[in-house]
A and B are shown apart, each in its own frame.
Chain A
């Protein structure tokens, strides 16, 4: 069985378009008749990853692969990297600025949400080079 692949460029610091890639994937999964709970998990995990790229890493690229068994999300940025992943994963931890917080972001729940709503997650990060987050959500 073949798989479908999609590529998205996430604009740097463009809040007006943040979430567009996630919305597009959600629409595609819905049209494919994907299970609503699976769609919900993908939408939450991908949106949080997309927002992190915009608010912490000046944008990046997202590759989405839909196979008969899985949805694989690879979010790659060339941002500052994450110094302490364990700390970053803690609920409530955030380095977001006051300005970002006033928009409703920076609750420090993004990475915990991504972990919770994906079935597999891996963070590959190098300080000063960038971060690649890979998440897999299984089809039911």
Chain B
């Protein structure tokens, strides 16, 4: 499933759609510690996190993840969105906690 399809089906607000949301999602990954995400994040991952600062963009880009989903209505830094626009990274926003957010995404892409 593509990022755009996920955004439509989940109702999560798309703060930015990189590459028009055409990236394919290969799996779901949840974590907030950036060093752990760097080593465990995988290409095509849908990354659910509360880290709404600019560094999330660098980590998503370096690990080649498909999109970032900011859960828990996390505070989102404008710099993150600006960076996401520059680097073609998709960012979605969910008001639910991380687990419920990931569960919902799982239901949509694997259900």
A44 close to B53 (CB less than 8 A): no
- Is A59 engaged at the interface, CB distance under 8 Å to the other chain? no
* Complex-state Cα separation, A23 to B57, whole angstroms: 11
* Complex-state Cα separation, A107 to B56, whole angstroms: 15
Taking residues whose C-beta sits less than 8 angstroms from the other chain, chain A's interface range is 20 to 34
Taking residues whose C-beta sits less than 8 angstroms from the other chain, chain B's interface range is 20 to 34
Contact indicator per residue, chain A 98-126, by CB within 8 Å of chain B (1) or not (0): 00000111011110010011000000000
- Is A43 engaged at the interface, CB distance under 8 Å to the other chain? yes
Taking a contact as CB atoms closer than 8 A, the residue among A15, A26, A36 that contacts B55 in the complex is A15
- B residues within 8 A CB of A47? 38, 58-59, 62
- Is A134 engaged at the interface, CB distance under 8 Å to the other chain? no
B54-72 residues at the A interface, CB under 8 angstroms: 54-56, 58-59, 61-63
14 other A-B residue contacts (CB within 8 Å) besides A43-B62, A104-B53, A109-B36: A16-B83, A23-B58, A26-B61, A40-B63, A44-B62, A103-B34, A103-B55, A104-B32, A104-B33, A104-B56, A109-B33, A109-B39, A110-B35, A117-B39
- Is A81 engaged at the interface, CB distance under 8 Å to the other chain? no
